[in-house]
Amino acid sequence: MFAVYAQNPNRQDPLSALHIGEQPEPEIREGWVRVKVSHASLNRHDLFTLQGVTHHPDPLIFPLILGNDGAGTLDDGTPVAIYPVVGSDDWRGNETLDPHWHIFSEHLPGTFADYIAIPRRNAIPVPQGMSMEVASLLGTAWLTAYRALFVRAQIRPGQRLLVQGAKGGMATALIQLGAAAGLEVWATSRDKAGRAFAESLGASRTFASGEVLPGKADVIVDSVGPATWEHSLDSVVRNGTIVLVGVTTGLEVRMPLLRTVSHQLSLLGSVMGTREDMVNLINFIGTSGIQPHIGGRFPMTEAAEAFRQLWMGESSGKLVLTR
């Protein structure tokens, strides 16, 4: 079958590891279903895979079909969105707490192909009125953003949210979800274009990265890490909350413990989301009227251009592949 896959990963030149061609069709084990993929979307995780980077102790095995997120139809024609988290067969409860959880395109083939095999519970019916295009981009960045805001930070209407960074799929989701939930959304970006983009999505005020803000935020969601961490600590109210959802600029920071204690800060980590979170996200998208920003659409045969734009930082929001 047709597939977009990684072979011979390269940390310095990940695009050299990108291949488009034929791969074996997936085997359907007991309790699993086959999805004919119609739409899929890129994540930065796909670049990490091309670089051979994984947070799991077991190494990646190549060739490996790329793609964490997608949507398509079951063999009976049912339209479904793909919940990307796969855990142990005997695990019960919050899937993201399973020590052995992973997502598609880690130990299992991903969504950038004609077909993908997934556990039956990972197939979430797409509600009437939601496009397959939108359904295909909710599984990783949007799911992570939803859980960070609604589950971990437990946001309330009227609070001020600061989003560090404004152009990526995660930041786009945070801004749009926060605005739809009745938050006062502030965002930072390194350039004027990024700040204007954030305002077009619903941010009420935007600032240069690292700029001293005219007020402090009740909730800060940081997907950057070391490059913005000190600014996040300086920009949160007493008894406020910082949710860390990514570490794109490094793995370690210096922590002012006394300030954390005396200001009674809540520092939270958040990763992906549960199946229930994804169902709730899909319902929220439907009732709120959000139109998730899509930065580009490409036939899956032209995936190389989508990856180039993602790698070069030329894209905003989510990039969608169609099959």
Q: Is the pLDDT of residue 167 over 80?
A: no
DSSP bridge pairs for 163: 187, 221
The residue range of the domain holding 231 is: 143-269
* 50-62 mean pLDDT: 90
What is the residue-averaged pLDDT of the chain? 96
User: Could you tell me the end-to-end alpha-carbon distance of the chain, in angstroms, rounded to an integer?
Assistant: 12
- Please give the Cα distance from 5 to 186 (Å, whole number): 37
* 49-61 mean pLDDT: 90
CATH classification at residue 168 = 3.40.50.720
Domain end among 226, 247, 269: 269
Q: Is 296 exposed, middle or buried (0-12, 13-18, 19+ CB in 10 A)?
A: middle
Write out pLDDT tens, residues 262-318: 999 999 999 999 999 999 999 999 999 999 999 999 999 999 999 999 999 898 889
Prediction pTM value: 0.96
Q: Is the pLDDT of residue 251 over 90?
A: no
Q: Binning pLDDT at 50, 70 and 90, where does residue 239 land?
A: very high
Same domain, 161 and 230: yes
- CA 144 distance to own-chain centroid: 6
Q: Is the pLDDT of residue 248 over 80?
A: no
Q: Is the pLDDT of residue 232 over 90?
A: yes
- Please give the Cα distance from 29 to 301 (Å, whole number): 28
Same domain, 131 and 279: yes
Write out pLDDT tens, residues 197-217: 999 999 999 999 999 999 999
Same domain, 258 and 288: no
Same domain, 13 and 106: yes
Same domain, 21 and 36: yes
The structural domain count of the chain equals: 2
Domain end among 227, 250, 269: 269
Write out pLDDT tens, residues 15-30: 999 999 999 999 999 9
Same domain, 8 and 120: yes
CATH classification at residue 130 = 3.90.180.10
Same domain, 278 and 313: yes
pLDDT in the model for residue 55: 81
Same domain, 62 and 169: no
Same domain, 124 and 222: no
Same domain, 61 and 73: yes
Same domain, 261 and 280: no
Q: Minimal CA–CA distance to 150: which of 308, 279, 310?
A: 279
Same domain, 61 and 152: no
- Please give the Cα distance from 219 to 184 (Å, whole number): 10
Domain end among 225, 243, 269: 269
